[in-house]
């Protein structure tokens, strides 16, 4: 049976979510049926007359609240004023809500989750931390048997980009910030990013979930990157470290839960030191799992929409009790023969190939080919003896 969705907020992420819904990409597939979720409304204060989805735009939240067909509502408005009010009203109206709003969840999550439960609906927020990276759900499902020793991560891409520019190009903080703004990585008012406020909200949500109690943002020590100098990044590099803004929450030796945001010297041998540009990465250390690292795009229209949509599909799965993993019978018509799969290849060979050798190792010639299939590979080396052949990962 088809479900209907309404999108609140048609900004960067909201556009991505609405597009995925409109493209028919939001669908719970079970062994016996498909349950598609279709876009019914887009709520925004603005008009979008030239947008292909412009005819879905409405301005009155009551249309959503009063439409019994609306099964799930996404919230990509941001902030904790209008968004908070609208989400409360949706939950009270018995609508499931999926949000990417870290500020609202960090500051009002405790209350809103209780309200969702009271009204027997889901409030999911995977996209609020780490953008497209699967993070909150794995933490509370796959890793749920662990006592969490620590969660540490690069959870703000803007600051990570700026720090990387400072380190690799010697650009001063102010110039690197201006560059990030020009590229659209930083907002005109960059305070939430560069002062660590965004990272603070995210580490609070991780701490809430990992340790089971509400950590108010205002008690979390939060230091941004505004005081970091190029000299500091150079000193760090000479000593074998990268300077990274980390959010950390951990169980201290005293048994207490700590959470804070601050720039750190991270040893180059640590995987977090190698996370550059706008990438995010979070390391979760548990008493049984040891350490897992989840990395990917921490922001952006399509990755963040991917996470919101994952929540929509999971809402259908969980609320409708169709939680079984499954797949269907083999489909020969969809299966590809490996001989047809093209790759660039490294080929070491003796004798005469139809391509000139590009060099040799230990007296054996080699070639790195264009992207070719196995038939073309055989043809190229028909007159030669292949000593070694490897596909190259692009």
Q: Helix (H, G, I), strand (E, B), or coil: what is residue 59?
A: coil
| Beta carbon nearer to a second copy, 58 or 257 | 257
Phi, psi angles (nearest 5°) of residue 178: -60, -40
* Distance between CA atoms of residues 230 and 21, nearest Å: 45
Instruction: Return the closest-CA partner of residue 92 out of 63, 112, 70.
Output: 112
| Beta carbon nearer to a second copy, 9 or 153 | 153
- Exactly one of 202, 234, 256, 342 is catalytic; which is it? 202
291, β-bridge pairs = 285
CB distance 262 to 225 below 8 Å: no
Instruction: Let me know if 169 is a catalytic residue.
Output: no
Instruction: Return the closest-CA partner of residue 1 out of 28, 39, 21.
Output: 28
| Beta carbon nearer to a second copy, 257 or 376 | 257
CB distance 75 to 99 below 8 Å: yes
Q: Where does residue 120 fall: left (phi above 0), alpha (psi -120 to 50 degrees), or beta otherwise?
A: left
User: Biggest alpha carbon distance in the chain?
Assistant: 78
| Beta carbon nearer to a second copy, 86 or 211 | 211
Distances (CA, A) of 289 to 114, 148, 237, 250, 325: 30, 9, 31, 16, 23
| Residues ≥6 apart with Cβ < 8 Å to 276 | 160, 164
| Beta carbon nearer to a second copy, 67 or 150 | 150
| Beta carbon nearer to a second copy, 292 or 355 | 292
Residues in the chain, overall count? 394
Please identify every residue annotated as catalytic: 202
């Amino acid at each position: 049976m088809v479900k209907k969705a309404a999108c609140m907020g048609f900004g960067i992420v909201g556009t991505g979510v609405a597009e995925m819904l409109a493209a028919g990409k939001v669908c719970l597939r079970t062994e016996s049926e498909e349950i598609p979720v279709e876009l019914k409304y887009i709520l925004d204060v603005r008009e979008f007359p030239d947008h292909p989805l412009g005819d879905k735009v409405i301005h009155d939240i009551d249309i959503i609240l009063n439409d019994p067909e609306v099964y799930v509502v996404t919230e990509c408005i941001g902030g904790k004023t209008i968004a908070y009010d609208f989400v409360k009203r949706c939950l009270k109206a018995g609508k499931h809500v999926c949000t990417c709003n870290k500020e609202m969840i960090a500051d009002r999550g405790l209350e809103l989750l209780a309200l969702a439960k009271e009204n027997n609906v889901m409030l999911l927020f995977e996209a609020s931390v780490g953008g497209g990276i699967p993070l909150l759900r794995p933490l509370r499902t796959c890793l749920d048997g662990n006592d969490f020793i620590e969660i540490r991560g690069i959870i703000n891409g803007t600051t990570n980009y700026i720090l990387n520019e400072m380190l690799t190009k010697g650009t001063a903080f102010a110039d690197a910030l201006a560059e990030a703004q020009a590229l659209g990585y930083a907002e005109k008012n960059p305070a939430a990013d560069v002062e660590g406020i965004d990272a603070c909200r995210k580490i609070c949500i991780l701490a809430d979930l990992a340790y089971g109690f509400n950590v108010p943002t205002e008690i979390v020590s939060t230091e941004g990157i505004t005081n970091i100098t190029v000299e500091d990044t150079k000193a760090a590099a000479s000593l074998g470290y990268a300077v990274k803004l980390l959010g950390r929450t951990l169980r201290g030796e005293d048994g207490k839960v700590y959470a804070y945001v601050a720039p750190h010297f991270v040893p180059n041998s640590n995987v977090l030191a190698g996370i550059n540009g706008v990438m995010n990465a979070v390391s979760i250390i548990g008493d049984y799992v040891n350490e897992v690292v989840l990395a990917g795009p921490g922001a952006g229209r399509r990755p963040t929409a991917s996470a919101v949509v994952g929540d929509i599909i999971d809402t259908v799965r969980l609320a409708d009790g169709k939680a079984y993993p499954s797949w269907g019978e083999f489909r020969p018509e969809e299966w590809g023969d490996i001989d047809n799969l093209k790759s660039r290849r490294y080929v070491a060979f003796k004798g005469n190939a139809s391509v000139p050798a590009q060099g040799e190792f230990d007296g054996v010639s080699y070639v790195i080919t264009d992207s070719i299939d196995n038939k073309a590979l055989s043809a190229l080396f028909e007159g030669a003896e292949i000593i070694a052949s490897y596909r190259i990962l692009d």
